[in-house]
Amino acid sequence: MNMKPRYIYLAAIALISAFLLPAGAAAQTEKMNVDADTSIKKIGPNRAHFVWMMTDFQFYGSSVSAPGYQLRGVGAFGAQALLMYKRKLSNVFSLVGGVGISSLTLYISNNKPSQLDTLFWNKGVVNHDKERMATNYATGTAGLRINMDPKRGDVQGTYLEFGGSGGLLIATRYYTKDKGADGRVIKTTMRKLPYYEPYTYSAYARLGLKGTVVVGVAYRFSDYFKSKYQLPEPGKFAVTLSLNLGG
Amino acid sequence: MNRILLRWALPTFLLLHAAIAGAQQKDWVLLKDKPNGSCAMPGQIFSPEIWQQKQAHGRVFEVTDAPVEQQYIAAIAEIADSLGYASRWMNAQAVWTHSPEQRAKLRALPFVAGILPMSSEPMRPASLRAEAEGKIDTAKIKLTAQDLKLLERQKAFFGDTAAQRHELTGKGVRIAVLDIGFKNVNIHPAFAHIRARGGIIKTYDFVRRREDVYYTGFHGTNVLSCIAGKTPDGKDIGLAPDAEFLLAKTERLLTELKSEEDNWIAAVEWAEQNGAQLVSSSLGYTKQRYFTEDMDGHTSMIARAANMAARKGMLVINSAGNDGTNDWRVICTPADGDSVLAVGGINPYTGYHSDFSSYGPGYPNKLKPNVCAVGTAFMASPKAYTKSDGTSYSCPLVTGYAACMIQARPDLRGALLLKEVEKAGHIYPYFDYAHGYGVPQLAAIVPNHDTARLSALSIDTSGTESIFIRVDSAEYVRAAAQFNNRGKTLLYVHQADANNFLLNYKVYEFTGPGTLEIPEDEIKPGTRRLRFSYGGIMREISLNEAPRGE
């Protein structure tokens, strides 16, 4: 019946805890911890002059027929690295231009027997496991940017850009890859091929998406191959993906 | 291909070209000289009374005070589409042009030093919440217990007690408030006491070039009340209810475009012309036009004008900005000006930095913000009263404080006043890039105030791997809590490099006596000094000298 001593114990423990806890682990709490930021941010406003690097990837559609050739398809992939310059006209409009190097690679899916090699090798029909054709261009691009996000507008922001690109052919290659009878992989490369048009020109529209990623479409007006060779053209339309790499 | 070109590409290009050609641009035309500047007289700019007051404080009439050369303006007007404001201080004329040819012609004028593009975006008010406007129904105004608690808190951080206030109410101090608009200030009961004594000296709308500033924009109403407003039962909202005011509307509402920084500069010059000692500006530019490295105090024209204001004996007090949680993060301009008092925001309930309040430093290594005050405040709204967040409100609260300081020490002006306000900060001489020197204390300006602060912290540096800071007694914690005017106490710790640039800063809350351990691995590379502030005293450890058991 006599519970009083227990209550005294409990009260004493509670009192001691009340004094000890604030003096111990719970005495101080970190409320704020800031590392001073000294980095200079090159994003934000819409500068009058701005230079940056851009990489651009193009995915061309497939062309499945070409006179004289039976192909399952030709897929093309383009890539370019550009040094870009922006000249602001107003908060809304800017001119953009750039120079760089681009490449366009055709991945060929032959029907067997392929007639494509006849042209390249001139020794009859040869079936290759893998074939691709690659070209490099010195590229120039120019366009008009309509900025829809006046708070930004250099390499980031929301904007629409229309323009054109042109390229001068500087290198050509034709690659094959086969597996020999003894199991060895045989790779061949041919250079300085005569089949390509020396120039390429196209138009593009790009949409900046509040970040460094830009999506768009491109239409290539020029032909890839000289028409007299009647080679299978890659698609004219491309979906493009560009990355702006700071400034 | 030709068809595509003719049908789509060419018309599109022509359309866009026409749009570009039609786009107008606003620029500053910077002038080389003022041929008649040395002949100008104070009477051309100032009233005799105001000039007399200024002379009493050692003000000298300078070439920068002289009007912009009228012949130059006339020649510019012949080329430009239209003219904005001319700045005497900057010796510049704002112009609208529509073509590069016009700008080339302007640049070719023999007296033109250069052309500087102007932002075509409005300055942003440093508040986080918009409120619908409406009529005042005084019968419906009822303040809740929470409102009153917040009201008390926002002043308590300044040490606002009857004894410390010591009849400091900003009396006789003239403050210019630059804002978006002052809707209903002419009828609102919060400002009845100011209107009754004719305390609103002048008003001007620099956007529409007329005197009425009361027709639109509530932000200025909020801000003004944080300096001098009263509740319906007569409680002060800010610290300077007896100050005099010049109200300038310099910005359009956010829904409108094409607001201009020449309005702001023209308003500051107008304020100086009309005898203002303080300019309260809760506006700022950030990423609309500038990069963070431009926040260096001399890139933007408005920062230059704000610095010039200090030279002329005024102090511009500007909110630090509300970008603490977004990509921008740092202070706005003109808060970056060397002679501008940038005010950060603290949370009235925790006592430390409000997350939205912009951080320093100014670029490259400038202590900003200079001081802080609560960033969540009770204030008058066009309809009644309200609570809102933003450094927009920290700024006028500190403006009220600065007015009290001028009242107590009329000799203080411009940059000298700025230094004194900094020294009055509750954590001075400690500082960091979130709080500056802390909340300025009224006790620092009351005659014969007790300057004694708490006794030293106990710091133990003898350990091999850690530094220990001891808060030894509950009595000490209670004393520190009293100093902070709140129930809990804060320990501030920063790490500085050899150039006194802060590498890291922290705030701890002490709920009772205890020991804080700072392990060696928490000390940033390059740290030369560790400083601690608690209860108003600061301790410093030089890491080169501290015995670390090595």
ipTM of the complex: 0.74
Return the pLDDT at B450. 54
Return the pLDDT at B59. 86
CB A17, CB A128: distance < 8 Å: no
Are B353 and A32 inside 8 Å of each other by CB? Answer: yes
Spatial separation of the C-alpha atoms in residues A237 and A91, rounded to whole Å: 31
Q: What is the pTM of this model?
A: 0.70
A24/chain B closest Cα distance in angstroms: 6
CB A89, CB A95: distance < 8 Å: yes
Spatial separation of the C-alpha atoms in residues B138 and B384, rounded to whole Å: 7
Strands (E), A3-92: 28-35, 49-60, 65-66, 69-88
CB B73, CB B36: distance < 8 Å: no
Which residues in chain B touch residue A236, judged by CB atoms under 8 angstroms apart?
none
Lowest mean pLDDT among A111-115, A185-189, A194-198, B41-45: A111-115
B351-396: per-residue pLDDT in tens?
899 999 999 898 878 899 999 999 999 999 988 899 999 999 999 9
Q: Which among B363, B434, B510 has the least Cβ separation from residue A27?
A: B510
B70: burial class by Cβ within 10 Å (0-12, 13-18, 19+)? exposed
Return the pLDDT at B540. 86
Cβ burial B287-308 (10 Å sphere, 16+ → b, else e) = bbbbbbbbbbbeebbbbbbbbb
Positions in chain B short of pLDDT 50 = 1-11, 13-22, 130-133, 255-259, 451-452, 456, 546-550
B535/chain A closest Cα distance in angstroms: 15
Return the pLDDT at A22. 41
For residue A220, the chain B residue with the least C-alpha distance is: B1
Segment holding A107, helix H or strand E = strand A93-110
Q: Mutation test of the interface with chain A: which of B2, B103, B288, B326, choosing the one with the most A Cβ atoms within 10 A?
A: B288
Segment holding B177, helix H or strand E = strand B174-179
A58/chain B closest Cα distance in angstroms: 20
Are B292 and A90 inside 8 Å of each other by CB? Answer: no
A81-126: per-residue pLDDT in tens?
999 998 888 778 889 999 999 999 888 776 655 555 556 655 555 6
Report yes or no: A135 at the B interface, CB cutoff 8 Å. no
Are A27 and B120 inside 8 Å of each other by CB? Answer: no
For residue A201, the chain B residue with the least C-alpha distance is: B1
Long-range contacts of range B308-312, CB-CB < 8 Å, 24 or more positions apart? B308/B64, B308/B89, B308/B90, B309/B89, B309/B268, B309/B271, B309/B272, B309/B279, B309/B339, B309/B414, B310/B337, B310/B339, B310/B340, B310/B414, B310/B415, B310/B418, B311/B339, B311/B414, B312/B59, B312/B65, B312/B89, B312/B272, B312/B414
Confidence of residue A36 (pLDDT cuts 50, 70, 90): confident
Are B502 and A36 inside 8 Å of each other by CB? Answer: yes
For residue B355, the chain A residue with the least C-alpha distance is: A32
